[in-house]
Structure 1
Amino acid sequence: MIFSRGARIVALAAVITLGATACSGGGRVKTDDSDSAEGANAAGSSGFTVAFVTHETPGDTFWDKVKAGAQQAAKDEGVTLKYSNDPDATKQAVLIQNAVDSKVDGIATTLVTPDALAGAVKSATDAKIPVVGLNAGIDQYKQLGALMYFGSDETVAGQSAGQRIATAGAKHPLCVVHQAGSVSLEARCAGVKSAVPGTENIQVNGADDAAVVSTLQAKLSQDKSIDYIVTLGAPIAQDALKALAAAGSTAKLVTFDLNTEIAQNIADGKIEFSIDQQPYAQGYLAVSSLYLYLKNGNDIGGGKPVLTGPSFVDKDNIAKILPFTKSNTR
């Protein structure tokens, strides 16, 4: 695992024990679920209700892992979890406001579009509802009023990926941005470009797989100097594989994030590596941190972000990690 910006690093092991459970992409309608976990602690046995709000595009396997982590934490802590999502920033803000209006005890939310969510987050903090950020918004969470943050430093992650492919000889990578306005995705591509100046960004519609394939195929057919494709989510990597084959391109593929198919493609040598931000841990830690804050006043991270990545997954460690992807925890 590669970490930098030492002032930001807090070891996950010192934060919380994940117990018996082992340890952002294109996809396809919003959901609003209330999860009642069964097990050692019945849902609600703690007396706390936590709203968990994301910018998930339904169908993206990345969010299955985030949600699974949040659900497991709710089960372990006896928290009632209310999960909702919408990829539209304005609608995500409405979901946060709905949580405030329903008087939940805490809110965990992604902050991928900080300006659009600022008003709703302020409404929560004005109501004395603690908010924690996760997954996106590492540079903005404090100014929005969130108490804690769990996720990857996307600039560092992009730099790490860029340095690795630069060492391998990359000259003209194509960085595929699949969600307009996402500060996290733009930070990843900027990090790659800082290490490989010839990096070019391309915007695609991550909610439409066929459109992603055709856009990338056209670009690869037109520009044979592209030697690497950097996708920023696992489903987009699957689209890129199809585009590479259709265009007859020899460009190599690297991606951010994991699912079972991507892990198998790494094992098969079709993808060079993945930069994993460990989404299951993000969901788990966000819920558990709110439980500890509500129960005991704990501040996890001591005022600094808790980093869950970047972590490289490649041919050297894929055999160990592949089984966890099948259980939806990695």
Structure 2
Amino acid sequence: MSIKKYAALAAVSVLALAGCAAPAAETNDTAAPASDIKVCVYTHGDGGTFWSVAQKGAEQAGEDLGIEVDYQGSTNDAAKQAATIEAGVAAGCDAIAASAPDPEAIKSAMLAAADAGLPLVTMNSGSAVFRDLGAFTHVGQDERIAGQEAGKKFNEMGLKHVLCPIQEAANVGLEERCAGLADTFNGKAENFNLDGGLADLTAAAAKLQAALAADDTIDGIFALNADIAAKAALPAAEAAGKSLKIGTVDMSPEALDAIKAGTIAFAIDQQQYAQGYMSVVLLYLNLTNAHELGGGQPVYTGPGFVTADNVDTVMGLVSAGSR
């Protein structure tokens, strides 16, 4: 679709949102249906409790804007994600949003898309490298800032030794969260190898339990995933007979139940529905009105915190599928 058509579509959309009647369509090529726009959202997501909400946000944005959104996850397979991006360019994507936990793996595909004239944003992971991938902004939370804020929370609790288990060795975003924790935590912040932990949460719990048994000074765990928190860290602490303070990144029904019960102290909410939704909106505005929002900086959707103070409200929104 031409820029001229996109501009005409943007004008009609603005008038519609303002409650005004759109001008009669011209007989030349200045008018175009919104369905001619195809925004592709290609992530490393696995379709689980986190990514299903991000997908819902992206698809809702498409519905609200009247455009086509093609969402595909790659279940943490970076090669598959790169191939999906390449195929998307060939299949007519007008713009692409992609997560970037392993930026080098998708760099060639992203730069090829940029060379083909497609506007790009990164989402969820990639806040430090989005420019290197040809994107004009990143939508998500700064993972290091998220870790820094977690460190402050643990300081408030008076902890001395917090374990930071990393369940995906190649995921730079997880490493940044642990680095942020070390930036602000006044005690000892220790990275812990839990690679592949999401694939076998029982084995992850056993590994954490062994670490707790081997070191009595550990009094906190900063889980980087809600399932790791609720289904590995919490059972490990219970099996080890330890009363630990556990914080997590992201939410799940089990983690929220544990926050309500007081067995998990907090969850960092990066608000993934907004990541999916806003990525589509920003690309739509670029296509239709040449906007490059963000000012060359990331557009942050977090970190926010879910604690006992607001968990009931958040649980209601989770039930509705938007948190």
TM-score under structure 2 length normalisation:
0.85
Tell me what 1:22 maps to.
none
Secondary structure in structure 2 of the residue aligned to 1:61: coil
Tell me what 1:268 maps to.
261
Tell me what 1:96 maps to.
85
Tell me what 2:64 maps to.
76
Deviation at 1:110, TM superposition (A): 0.2
Q: Is residue 2:220 matched to residue 1:232?
A: no
Q: Is residue 2:100 matched to residue 1:111?
A: yes
Q: Is residue 2:307 matched to residue 1:314?
A: yes
The structure 2 residue matched to 1:159, chosen from 124, 135, 148, is 148
Tell me what 1:244 maps to.
237
Supply the distance in 2 between the matched residues of 1:148 and 1:118 (Cα, whole angstroms): 15
Q: Is residue 2:75 matched to residue 1:55?
A: no
* Alpha carbons 2:230, 2:258 under 8 Å: kept: no
The structure 1 residue matched to 2:118, chosen from 129, 143, 163, is 129
Secondary structure in structure 2 of the residue aligned to 1:180: coil
* Alpha carbons 2:125, 2:173 under 8 Å: kept: yes
Tell me the amino acid that sits aligned with residue 79 of structure 1: I
Supply the distance in 2 between the matched residues of 1:318 and 1:297 (Cα, whole angstroms): 39
Deviation at 1:173, TM superposition (A): 0.4
Supply the distance in 2 between the matched residues of 1:254 and 1:102 (Cα, whole angstroms): 42
Supply the distance in 1 between the matched residues of 2:243 and 2:263 (Cα, whole angstroms): 11
Deviation at 1:144, TM superposition (A): 1.4
Deviation at 1:276, TM superposition (A): 0.9
Secondary structure in structure 2 of the residue aligned to 1:200: strand
Supply the distance in 1 between the matched residues of 2:255 and 2:203 (Cα, whole angstroms): 20
Tell me what 1:284 maps to.
277
Deviation at 1:316, TM superposition (A): 1.5
Tell me what 1:301 maps to.
294
Deviation at 1:62, TM superposition (A): 0.8
Supply the distance in 2 between the matched residues of 1:294 and 1:195 (Cα, whole angstroms): 40
* Alpha carbons 1:159, 1:194 under 8 Å: kept: yes
Superposition pairs of residues 37-52 of structure 1, within 5 angstroms: 45-52=34-41
**Size of the alignment, in residue pairs?**
287
Identity level (%): 41
Tell me what 1:85 maps to.
73
Supply the distance in 1 between the matched residues of 2:258 and 2:149 (Cα, whole angstroms): 21
Supply the distance in 2 between the matched residues of 1:101 and 1:46 (Cα, whole angstroms): 18
Tell me what 2:175 maps to.
186
Tell me what 1:24 maps to.
none
Supply the distance in 2 between the matched residues of 1:302 and 1:165 (Cα, whole angstroms): 33
Supply the distance in 2 between the matched residues of 1:203 and 1:99 (Cα, whole angstroms): 35
* Alpha carbons 1:61, 1:235 under 8 Å: kept: no
The structure 2 residue matched to 1:218, chosen from 210, 213, 220, is 210
Supply the distance in 1 between the matched residues of 2:166 and 2:226 (Cα, whole angstroms): 12
1:241-268 CA-to-partner distances (Å, cap 9, x unmatched) read 1111122122111101112222221111
Deviation at 1:81, TM superposition (A): 1.6
Supply the distance in 1 between the matched residues of 2:92 and 2:114 (Cα, whole angstroms): 12
Higher relative contact order at CA 8 Å, sep ≥6: structure 1 or structure 2? 1
Deviation at 1:45, TM superposition (A): 3.8
Supply the distance in 2 between the matched residues of 1:155 and 1:137 (Cα, whole angstroms): 11
Deviation at 1:167, TM superposition (A): 2.4
When Rg is computed on C-alpha atoms for both structures, the one with the higher figure is 2
* Alpha carbons 1:107, 1:131 under 8 Å: kept: yes
The structure 2 residue matched to 1:209, chosen from 201, 205, 212, is 201
Tell me the amino acid that sits aligned with residue 202 of structure 1: F
- Stretches of 4+ aligned residues off by more than 4 angstroms: none
Supply the distance in 1 between the matched residues of 2:83 and 2:169 (Cα, whole angstroms): 20
1:268-311 CA-to-partner distances (Å, cap 9, x unmatched) read 11110111110000000001111111111122222221101111
Q: Is residue 2:125 matched to residue 1:144?
A: no
Supply the distance in 2 between the matched residues of 1:212 and 1:68 (Cα, whole angstroms): 29
